[in-house]
Amino acid sequence: MSETCAVRLAGVWKWYRGTVVPAVRDLWLDVRAGELLAILGPSGCGKTTTLRLIAGLERPDTGAIEIGGRVVAGGGRFVPPEERGVGLVFQDYALFPHLTVEENIAFGLRGFARQERARRVQELLALTGLEAFRTRYPHQLSGGQQQRVAIARALAPHPAVLLLDEPFANLDAELRLRMREELRRLLRDVGVTVILVTHDRDEALALADRVAVMLEGTVVQVDTPERVYHEPRTREVARLLGQASFVPARVLGRLGRSDIGSFALEGAEEPTEQVELLLRPRDVVLERHPEGLGVVVDRRFVGAETIYRVLLRCGITVETSQPPSVELAIGERVEVRCNRARVAAFAGDERIGLAALLERLGRTRSADTEAPVAGGTDGAAAS
């Protein structure tokens, strides 16, 4: 294990008393020191349980948990929550209703000398912009302010790791966006390792250095936001991360052909005959063309962009997001092109090891056109 690993879960399983299905199942996860890692997964997949295991509020049935290189659970060892150097912000914030803002923040500083405690509380009131509210009680605060108190309270004792459970779930949509920005700024200043749990993909993608995708009690992929979005390990992950279309392609040798163009398979020795290409809404360029392989079947204006649904000759409908300059009517024929250099290819349920490399396609409307070959020149694009 590297010394930059702040939290490590190794083969952790957790069954709640009286249940058959494990809440957490063979979970492996390395969190790097100083990073913000988001655990993204649907409701009930085990996110809260994972945080509670790290915080020491639950014990794993098997497996081990390390924090800062020290085993805190597993192998007969169990370090209690208050000795783990971990701050936890609960989904409902769990503020003490009978304590003021500053008393809530001071709560975690009981072991500190009085002066030191007052100094630290002041520091956190300033950091979270709560100085004017120090003597208020939780019920006299807005949702966003309550959240800041909860974060200040968790950060007060200088934890090495901060755990946030669905931090924005209780805020309305507008406040959610603002608090997201605020949280990012605040955490950057503090420099603490953060594990944030959410079922909201936009939140995970916008905030995290890395995203751990969790399904049915286990982490199935850990990658940068860009990679989990564009190179998901499975179709299920692809869909969890956002709108996804899968376009079938025939593989002939090292070449694949589809209604969105021909492409070369990198180092293709795969004995696959049929793959499917993952297309995200912004990966697609539409151009009006009488011989195009797509037909516009639906358009939806959403302000900054228009969502077009296009039926391809292969029978698949792709959802695309187009800038205002694109104006197409329902029923129009279009040429459909992918504007990405690489797209993920799937065989069965899993992404195949080799990424499909799309050639830059000048003309793709006729499937009979000789396709450009792998490693070839850009001639086809220019012609």
Which of 1, 2, 3, 43 is the binder for ligand ADP (CB under 6 A)? 43
Q: Minimal CA–CA distance to 239: which of 247, 229, 253?
A: 229
* Closest CB to ligand ADP among residues 45, 73: 45
* Closest CB to Mg ion among residues 169, 311: 169
User: How far is residue 229's CA from residue 241's CA, in Å, rounded to a whole number?
Assistant: 6
User: How far is residue 75's CA from residue 366's CA, in Å, rounded to a whole number?
Assistant: 63
Distance in Å, CB of 139 to Mg ion, minimum: 24
Report angle CA 70, 74, 77 to the nearest 5 degrees: 70
Which of 8, 12, 31, 47 is the binder for ligand ADP (CB under 6 A)? 47
3-state helix, strand, coil in the chain (%, to 5): 25, 35, 40
- Pairing state of beta strands 62-67 and 5-14? antiparallel
Please choose, out of 40-48, 156-164, 180-188, 268-276, the segment that lies near Mg ion by the rule CB under 5 A. 40-48
Q: Find residue 128's DSSP bridge partners.
A: none
Distance in Å, CB of 150 to ligand ADP, minimum: 17
Is 141 in contact with 101 (CB distance < 8 Å)? Answer: yes
Is 279 in contact with 251 (CB distance < 8 Å)? Answer: no
User: How far is residue 9's CA from residue 210's CA, in Å, rounded to a whole number?
Assistant: 16
Which of 34, 44, 253, 376 is the binder for ligand ADP (CB under 6 A)? 44
Is 356 in contact with 266 (CB distance < 8 Å)? Answer: yes
* Closest CB to ligand ADP among residues 44, 129: 44
Distance in Å, CB of 48 to ligand ADP, minimum: 3
Which of 10, 45, 53, 55 is the binder for ligand ADP (CB under 6 A)? 45
- Contacts to ligand ADP from residues 264-293, by CB under 6 A: none
Alpha-carbon distances, residue 129 vs 96, 135, 271, 282 (angstroms): 19, 14, 60, 38
What count of residues does the chain have? 383
- Contacts to ligand ADP from residues 2-31, by CB under 6 A: 16, 19, 23
* Closest CB to Mg ion among residues 203, 335: 203
Distance in Å, CB of 4 to ligand ADP, minimum: 27
For position 49 contacting ligand ADP by CB under 6 A, the verdict is: yes
Which of Mg ion, ligand ADP, none binds 253 (CB below 5-8 Å, type-dependent)?
none
For position 61 contacting ligand ADP by CB under 6 A, the verdict is: no
Write the CB contacts of 177 (distance below 8 Å, at least 6 apart in sequence). none
x-or-dash string of contact with ligand ADP, 187-226, rule CB under 6 A: ----------------------------------------
Q: Minimal CA–CA distance to 245: which of 275, 274, 293, 278?
A: 278
Which of Mg ion, ligand ADP, none binds 16 (CB below 5-8 Å, type-dependent)?
ligand ADP
Number of residues binding to ligand ADP, judged by CB under 6 A? 11
Q: Which structure tokens are listed for 193? A: 């390792």
User: How far is residue 219's CA from residue 212's CA, in Å, rounded to a whole number?
Assistant: 6
* Closest CB to ligand ADP among residues 41, 138: 41
User: How far is residue 372's CA from residue 261's CA, in Å, rounded to a whole number?
Assistant: 10
Please choose, out of 47-55, 187-195, 301-309, 335-343, the segment that lies near ligand ADP by the rule CB under 6 A. 47-55
Which of 48, 50, 147, 322 is the binder for Mg ion (CB under 5 A)? 48
For position 320 contacting Mg ion by CB under 5 A, the verdict is: no
Is 54 in contact with 9 (CB distance < 8 Å)? Answer: yes
- Pairing state of beta strands 77-78 and 70-74? antiparallel
Which of ligand ADP, Mg ion, none binds 23 (CB below 5-8 Å, type-dependent)?
ligand ADP
Positions touching Mg ion (CB under 5 A) are 48
Positions touching ligand ADP (CB under 6 A) are 16, 19, 23, 41, 43-49
